Structure 1
């Protein structure tokens, strides 16, 4: 998972800004964000992003682009939105022999992931995580403490504060890709 990332590793969170917050994503040499909404790249830079790539800018699969950009593939990838096609792309963006792809996003009910066995027998690792590996009972107090001491950024993810009577606007912002997280007040 995220705790095995070391300084100098090439990291790619797919899609931003759901990732990029932990200390492990803040120390690698290169953090490449992938998103179809280029407006997210500027926000991603607040959380350690070093460069952004939009799959729509290329006429080939994003995994091919990333393998070329990184001279063989990434050390770590993180799929954060729950899209099964992105999960596969994240795995195939990993370097053969040691690349690790971690699935963070939750796919819709009934969705299945697939890949060619060759992707795994060449040494790539595909795994998932819930809550970044944190254990709820023992970890929540640590997370709250980190937040209260400004070590864990949370408020920065809130892009809009709306009243309950504006809930349709909140959904419109989300569907248009113009919000990160919206707080709806009662």
Structure 2
């Protein structure tokens, strides 16, 4: 993985300002982990991600090193997790209980600099700017983020800060999709397409909500043993079927599942997920990143069968107001975060961590700085 787009922070200065500027927070990163979105950005899978040099990474936990003018909700020494989908608390969307979108600091892969003055907080050895990534840039010893993108973690659970890293993206995205976006009900039937960390987090969320049947769909058989630990009750490997996946799921669930979750980012998979739900009330949630310009593979008239489809960003969680409560639920064991950490490495082994993800061997590899 050695090339001009390398994601390592070798040669990168820690943010040069003594403090974050107005409404900014500087964080000393203690733990960070790797998500498929980081991998996709490294590979330059879509135009929005092709901005280099850039510091990737968006799942992390750390300690506040300093704060800029106007920051009141966190202070030096606080334990925090950065979030890619911020919450300013002031815009029309933040004030609306129906959405977790933030007009000012929502996820934006095109954003490369800080909102306050349009400049970067990173420089290389020659003093030239290095771009930010997804409001966070956590593959660095220090990072600077807008205060809207920082969530304080209760000091009583600071001993579990390593696990809190997973709340920055993967686990929150998957569990939240089951809890907030779909509102999975006890006794319901669920199909999860793609058993990576996000898909398995969906399964864990559905299990916690009392789903009676959770069908996992993946072409990698090694994911099945991991899935059982997350509550998956049945498995389908599409390469072993002689019929479309949705037909098999309809047979297994007697007409279709109540909820399906597409966690792959593939249009053909999305169509199978949509058709696998029960007519009249089936609900499909899209979580996979679709980087191609192709449109939805659904005919408008198919929506007249009563099936619904929606997307979910960060699991529907309003980061600053709702994530602390979710963190407390995790510490009580409602969601078991330990099951998602399959590997741990020092940060200088980041290339090995990426290879584990590429090979499908890891759910989350936590890197410690």
1:154-173 deviation per Cα after TM superposition (whole angstroms, max 9, x unaligned): 22111111223332322222
- Alignment-derived partner of residue 99 in structure 2: none
CA distance in 2, matches of 1:150, 1:69: 30
Whether the aligned pair in 1 keeps the contact of 2:206 and 2:214 (CA below 8 Å) is no
Whether the aligned pair in 1 keeps the contact of 2:190 and 2:206 (CA below 8 Å) is no
RMSD: 2.0
Whether the aligned pair in 2 keeps the contact of 1:104 and 1:128 (CA below 8 Å) is yes
The Cα shift of 1:12 comes to 0.9
- Alignment-derived partner of residue 13 in structure 1: 192
CA distance in 2, matches of 1:155, 1:139: 21
Whether the aligned pair in 1 keeps the contact of 2:249 and 2:276 (CA below 8 Å) is yes
Question: How many pairs were matched up?
Answer: 186
Whether the aligned pair in 2 keeps the contact of 1:12 and 1:77 (CA below 8 Å) is yes
Gaps of 5+ in 2: 1-176
The Cα shift of 1:145 comes to 1.3
Q: Which moved more, 1:146-155 or 1:44-53?
A: 146-155
1:2 maps onto 2:178 in alignment: yes
- Alignment-derived partner of residue 230 in structure 2: 47
| Alignment of structure 1 residues 1-186 onto 2, 5 Å | 2-3=178-179, 4-16=183-195, 17-22=200-205, 26-108=209-291, 110-186=293-369
CA distance in 2, matches of 1:85, 1:173: 26
1:123-147 deviation per Cα after TM superposition (whole angstroms, max 9, x unaligned): 1111111222211121111122122
TM-score normalised to the size of structure 2? Answer: 0.47
CA distance in 2, matches of 1:120, 1:166: 48
Gaps of 5+ in 1: none
The Cα shift of 1:114 comes to 2.2
CA distance in 1, matches of 2:280, 2:208: 21
Q: Which moved more, 1:24-33 or 1:116-125?
A: 24-33
Larger radius of gyration: 2
Secondary structure (helix, strand or coil) at the match of 1:150 reads coil
